Amino acid sequence: MEDNQHFEIQQVSKDNFQVLKQLGQGTYGQVVMARERETGKSVALKKVKKNQTTQELFFHELFVSIYLSSCEGIISTHPTFIQTNNHYTMTQELAPAGSLHSLIQRGVGIPEEMVKRCALQLARALEYMHSKSLVHRDVKPDNVLLMDKDCHHIKLSDFGLTQRAGTLVPSMSPIIPYMSPELCDLKYGSFLALDPSVDVWAFGVLLFVAFTGSFPWRRAVDEDPIFQEFINWQSLVRQIASPRSWQKFSRKAQDMFHVLLSKDPTIRYPVGVVLNNFDFQWGVEDIPEEVFQIVVEEEDNEIRDDEAQGIIIEGEDEFIIVESPSDVDYIIVTYTSEESFSNYSPSTLSFWTENSLNLGSEVEIG
C-alpha cells in the first residue's frame, strides 16, 4: 500500500446488524449474512476469533481490504469494524452465489466459457493488486466469490496473507497444490522475497482446477511424481507426449499454461497472458477415451521427409491395426527402439510427411 494512505475506520456495534444465516465456518472464524438495521441492506460479516489471530493481523487485513475496494474485481469492504470479547469483525459486500469452489464439480470442473469469464476478471483483479506492489499469496477457488452462478461477475477476496512485493516471507505448512515450487522448497527458518509470480502460479493452478475439477498435482515438489512428469514435459514439450491430465487441453492452451506455470519464477509470465488467449478453444473436443500412441522405428527419433514410414497405433495392451485414417481422430508420436514392423499387415496406417515430424508432436488425421 502507499505509505501515505490513511483510512478513517469507525468502530460500530454488533447491534447495528441482524444476523440472518451462516455462510461459512472455519478454524479462524465464520462468515454470516446479516442485514443492516438502518439501511436494510444485506451484507457479509467476517468474524475472526481473537484466540486465532492478533489485533495487528486483523487490522492489516482490514486496511488492505479497504484499500483494494475500489477495484471492480475485488470484494468491497466497509471502513468499519466490530469488536466483542471473542471476535473481530469486518463488514463486506455480500456475494450471493457463494464461492467458485462451491461451483466446481469434482472430476468435471465447470464449462469452458465460465472458466474464461473467471480468468478474465481474476486476471484483471490480480493485475490491479500487482500494480499496487501487493501480492495476494492465497489465490484459490475458495477466495473467488460469485455475484451470480454463471460467473458473469466474480470478485477476489480474503487478504489476510497479502503483503507488499519484496517482503521476506517464511515457509508455510502445510504445502497445498496452489503453492509455487519456490514456496514449496522453502526450508524451516528460510525466507523468500515475495514476488507477484507466486500469484501467477496459483492463478494457473486455479484455472486447471476450474477446467478439470481436479488438482494437477498434490505438491509442486520434485518428490511428487505427477509434478515431476509435468516439469519433464515442460522442458521437452516438443519431444515427449503430454501427461494424461493435460490432454484435455488444446496445444495453444497447453502453451498458455506453460508460461503461467513455469518452474522458473523469473520467466513466469504475468497473469495478463490469458487476456491474449481467448480466441481459441482451451479444451480439446471429441478426444477418444483412450489416446493412442504411434510407435516409430527410427534411430534418430524423427520421421524423415524423404521416405514414408510405417506406423501402428498402440493401445495399452495390444497393437491396433488401423484400416484407414478416419479410424483415428487424435494421435501422439512417441519412440521405441524395441519393436519391429516387419510382421505387421500392409493395412497398418502409413503416411508421408512433407516436413520432418518430431516425436512428441501431436497429429490430427481423419
* Per-residue pLDDT, 28: 85
**CA dist., res. 156 & res. 349, Å (int):** 51
Q: Identity (one letter) of the amino acid at 92?
A: Q
* Per-residue pLDDT, 301: 43
Average pLDDT over residues 130-140: 98
Annotated catalytic residue 317: no
- Find all residues with CB under 8 Å of 67, minimum gap 6, and list them: 1, 5, 7, 132
Average pLDDT over residues 335-349: 36
- Find all residues with CB under 8 Å of 338, minimum gap 6, and list them: none
Contact of 233 with 263, CB cutoff 8 Å? no
Average pLDDT over residues 283-311: 47
**CA dist., res. 147 & res. 75, Å (int):** 10
Average pLDDT over residues 6-35: 92
Taken in order 84, 51, 69, 117, the sign of the CA dihedral is negative
pTM of full prediction above 0.85: no
What's the topology of domain 10-93? Phosphorylase Kinase; domain 1 (3.30.200)
Where exactly does CATH 1.10.510.10 map onto the chain?
100-276
CATH architecture of 100-276: Orthogonal Bundle (1.10)
Give tens-digit pLDDT for 196-248. Answer: 999 999 999 999 999 999 999 999 999 999 999 999 999 887 678 899 999 99
Residue found by looking up cell 501480492 in the block: 135
Phi and psi (nearest 5°) for 135? -115, 125
CA distance to 81, 172, 344, per residue, from 47 (Å):
10, 23, 70
**CA dist., res. 148 & res. 95, Å (int):** 8
Give tens-digit pLDDT for 163-206. Answer: 999 999 999 989 999 999 999 999 989 999 999 999 999 999 99
Give tens-digit pLDDT for 88-113. Answer: 999 999 999 999 999 999 999 999 99
**CA dist., res. 201 & res. 212, Å (int):** 17
Catalytic residue among 3, 15, 138, 158: 138
Task: Flag whether pLDDT at 319 surpasses 90.
Answer: no
Task: Flag whether pLDDT at 361 surpasses 80.
Answer: no
Where exactly does CATH 3.30.200.20 map onto the chain?
10-93
**CA dist., res. 216 & res. 263, Å (int):** 14
Contact of 70 with 178, CB cutoff 8 Å? no
